[in-house]
Chain A
Amino acid sequence: DAKTTQPTSMDCAEGRAANLPCNHSTISGNEYVYWYRQIHSQGPQYIIHGLKNNETNEMASLIITEDRKSSTLILPHATLRDTAVYYCIDLANTGNQFYFGTGTSLTVIP
């Protein structure tokens, strides 16, 4: 079973920042936070991951709270192509079972 909880759906206006929350209520000290997204009928795509510190790459930023019980994926300037289902998972760096929940369906509105 998935270990994270996310809102079922969200809308965001094109050009605005999309902030997608995730609760990691059972995360342990050696578990990383990963974010993926899935565009309809395609394989999921890796976005970003982190352990404690906030992270940024060319796709997004990841904010992890100090207690690590929640994280937020930020798409700084959402485009229509960002419409997808976004999944957060947490996994130990020695882990081997990746559990995906139902994710958040993000719709970017023109």
Chain B
Amino acid sequence: DGGITQSPKYLFRKEGQNVTLSCEQNLNHDAMYWYRQDPGQGLRLIYYSQIVNDFQKGDIAEGYSVSREKKESFPLTVTSAQKNPTAFYLCASISHDRANVLTFGAGSRLTVL
């Protein structure tokens, strides 16, 4: 079945360590997105990528980095510069052929100890 796979689902890290969250899609979608969600809050856009080898900052990009070397993959690195990294991270993709409907992964929950 086509979809978006995020891994790991749960991740624990010590403060000061960089962490990379994986996002893979087999939907042949063009654009991919990373959102952060804090308890009781909506989704905030971190980074997005419209095409391979190109990406743009969202509202809260500080302390995060991304790459888009392949169409299927859009990993997110949470760096030690991110002051409060504990959150639920959601990856999404979109095909502009399908009326801009976002498809989301199941999410990755990062806890920094």
State the A residues within 8 Å of B (CB).
Answer: 1-2, 32, 34, 36, 41-46, 49, 87, 91, 93, 95-103
Contacts and interface: CB of A to CB of B under 8 A. Distances in A.
23 contacts: A1-B59, A34-B100, A34-B101, A36-B102, A42-B106, A43-B92, A43-B104, A44-B43, A44-B104, A45-B104, A46-B103, A49-B100, A87-B43, A96-B31, A96-B50, A98-B92, A99-B45, A100-B35, A100-B43, A100-B44, A101-B42, A102-B41, A103-B42
Interface of B: 4, 31, 33, 35, 40-45, 48, 50, 58-59, 88, 90, 92, 99-107, 109
A96 B48 CA distance: 8
B108 to A, nearest CB: 10
A41 B33 contact: no
A32 B100 contact: yes
Contacts of B100: 32, 34, 49, 91, 93, 95
B22 to A, nearest CB: 15
Given A42-B107, A44-B90, A96-B31, 13 more contacts: A32-B100, A43-B106, A44-B43, A44-B102, A46-B102, A49-B100, A95-B100, A96-B50, A98-B102, A100-B42, A100-B43, A100-B44, A101-B42
A93 B99 contact: yes
Contact of B99 (A49, A96, A99): A49
A45 B33 CA distance: 15
B48 A97 contact: yes
A43 B107 contact: yes
